[in-house]
Amino acid sequence: MTTAETSRRCLDGRYQLHELIAVGGMGEVWRARDLQLHRTVAVKVLRSEFADDPVFVARFRSEARHAAGLSHPNIAAVLDYGETTAPDTGESLAYLVMELVEGSSLSARLAEEGSLDTRATLSLLRQAAAGLAEAHRAGVVHRDVKPANILLGPGDTVKLTDFGISWSAGSAPITRTGQVVGTAQYMSPEQARGEHVSPASDVYALGLVGYESLAGHAAFDGDNPVTVALKQVQETPEPLPAELPPDVRALIDAALVKDPRERPRDGDAFLSAIEETIRQPSGEPPTRSVVRAPVRRERRAEQRHRAAAKRRAAPVTRPQAATMVRRPALVVLLPLVAFLLGAGALTLGPGPGTESGNAAGAVSGPSAEAGVVLEPGDYLGRPAAEVAGELGALGLTVRQVQDPTSERPPGTVTGLEPAGTLLRPGDVVRLAVAVRPGATLPELVPVTGGGATPVGRPRPVAPAPAVPADEPAPAGTTAPAVPVDGGAGPVTDQPSAPSEGGGTTSEPTTPPEDTTGTPTTPPGDGG
């Protein structure tokens, strides 16, 4: 569905779309007019290619269900949800209707002003914690608290939004073991490990928001989401400016404790701590706003410049919708982090003043033997090489089979099995990959721990394809190699002989007579 097409539509004869507010990987947010109640609303329309995908539609419904069940002054109201068919094209449409918040997001405010003073920060933390407290009482964990999901209305009234990846304690979560969902810079350590997420995880994220608002830069930064997520687990942010009141610094520090059992347990407990800090004489804001040193302002500008270079810009105009559309690059799927940490493969080196024999600093987590459950919707439509690399990093053995009947672009995943069952390192996963009719895939051998490797007649190997700037490759992984000449052979489903050092090695095979016609793998959009 194009912007021009959408602008001419009236959804279900009720919501007339007028002005585009935001565009993201999953859809568009529009200013619209409710023709029945004669009011202006925001309408989030799922992109047509996702509206036909039951997994994406389920997530969209999940956002509507979770948010619509919450009623609080600091939570953006969800007013309606619908699924319809476009009368002119016949395509499926799913949409969410929300209140329109006249204002801007906290992320936009921070980008413009750099940082906030103590009074403003405590006020937004208090309101956001109050909204989270209501959600937690209803059994809902937000999972993606960040400045972009905190809208500031008239008088700096806070509205929490975007409960699209939230989890209800009363139902099975859409996200499952083997996926780590959220935004890396605001992700709790337990979220990065793939462990149980609780209300205390939202407290950690809100603590990171408070830290950024006061310090003028994110607590953790890195070249890619995996690096940032590892820092959430392993590192402590640099101290907040010394000129801040001690109990304000202590409030943020309490929210950023790595062990969720040692943090305020939920939004209500954090709200009480915030209100106590506000009441304390030392918690009163100084007579002037906290001004960061120029080096910090420069570093924040560098951070934002790097981040902007790694993702597609989403045009946003004011007023903003009551929810922002998440791009796939910002909804971080980090199974590699959970696997590396769960396997105990990563440890902290000895820091200053720590003897090399000290065991402190080792990262502990659940064993990789706990296994993973794969959700097909997270892999369908993505480049096969990229998916094979991710599954290999989880310790799974990957086999690919061709699918000449699919309408998806050649080289992308059209199916995955087994799905919905517990898999352990070494288990076999079969990927169906789209090919043009009559074309074949390179012969593949199963690989554990890193993608799939073509075998058969020796061919020169091209460098690994570049990863799009907005979706950096996880640190420590490489993309599977591909033949330079595009040669292809028949697909095999037979495992090769394992080497003594583990993994797999290829056995010499007789090359096929026809070695042409391998489809080019197009760049993916992240799913």
Which of 81-90, 265-274, 310-319 comes out lowest in average pLDDT?
Answer: 310-319
Average pLDDT (419-444) is 74
Domains 10-99 and 373-435 alike in fold = no
What proportion of the chain, given as a percentage, has pLDDT over 90? 31
pLDDT at 313 over 50: no
Give residue-wise pLDDT tens across range 465-513. 333 333 344 444 433 333 333 333 333 344 433 333 343 333 444 444 4
The CA distance from 196 to 169, in Å, is 11
Average pLDDT (89-106) is 87
Give residue-wise pLDDT tens across range 329-372. 334 444 555 555 554 444 333 333 333 333 333 333 333 445 67
pLDDT classification of 166: cutoffs 50, 70, 90: low
Q: Is the dihedral of CA 348, 179, 328, 163 positive or negative?
A: negative
The CA distance from 127 to 90, in Å, is 43
Residue 299 backbone dihedrals phi, psi, to 5 degrees = -65, -40
For helices 246-255 and 118-137, the axis angle rounded to 10 degrees is 30
Q: Is 144 a catalytic residue?
A: yes
pLDDT classification of 194: cutoffs 50, 70, 90: confident
CATH number for region 104-279:
1.10.510.10
Beta strands in 86-218 (DSSP E): 92-101, 104-105, 140-141, 150-152, 158-160, 167-168
- Token pair listed for 275: 């209100």
* pLDDT value at residue 115: 96
Helix or strand holding residue 255 (H, E): helix 246-255
pLDDT classification of 206: cutoffs 50, 70, 90: very high
Give residue-wise pLDDT tens across range 453-468. 333 333 333 333 333 3
Helix or strand holding residue 436 (H, E): none
The CA distance from 273 to 335, in Å, is 34
Which pTM value belongs to this model? 0.55
pLDDT classification of 102: cutoffs 50, 70, 90: confident
* pLDDT value at residue 265: 97
pLDDT at 110 over 70: yes
Looking at per-residue pLDDT, the higher value among 266 and 173 belongs to: 266
* HEC sequence for 88-121: CCCCEEEEEEEEEECCEEHHHHHHHHCCCCHHHH
List the one residue out of 64, 79, 81, 195 whose CA is nearest residue 140.
Answer: 64
* pLDDT value at residue 65: 79
Q: Out of 177-181, 344-348, 434-438, 508-512, give the one with best mean pLDDT.
A: 434-438
pLDDT classification of 134: cutoffs 50, 70, 90: very high
* pLDDT value at residue 375: 76
pLDDT at 190 over 90: yes
Cα dihedral angle (155, 156, 157, 160), rounded to 10 degrees?
A: 160
- Token pair listed for 161: 């939004």
* pLDDT value at residue 341: 54
CATH number for region 373-435:
3.30.10.20
What proportion of the chain, given as a percentage, has pLDDT over 70? 59
* pLDDT value at residue 345: 40
pLDDT at 7 over 90: no
Of the listed 117, 144, 202, 266, which one is catalytic? 144
pLDDT at 49 over 50: yes
Mean pLDDT rounded to a whole number for the chain: 71
**What fold, for 10-99?**
Phosphorylase Kinase; domain 1 (3.30.200)
The CA distance from 430 to 103, in Å, is 48
Residues counted in the chain:
527
Domain boundaries, the chain: 10-99, 104-279, 373-435
Q: Say if residue 366 is preceded by a cis peptide, omega within 30 of 0.
A: no
* pLDDT value at residue 67: 77
* Amino acid type, 449: G
* pLDDT value at residue 408: 85
Looking at per-residue pLDDT, the higher value among 270 and 505 belongs to: 270
Q: Could you tell me which residues are beta bridge partners of residue 140?
A: 168
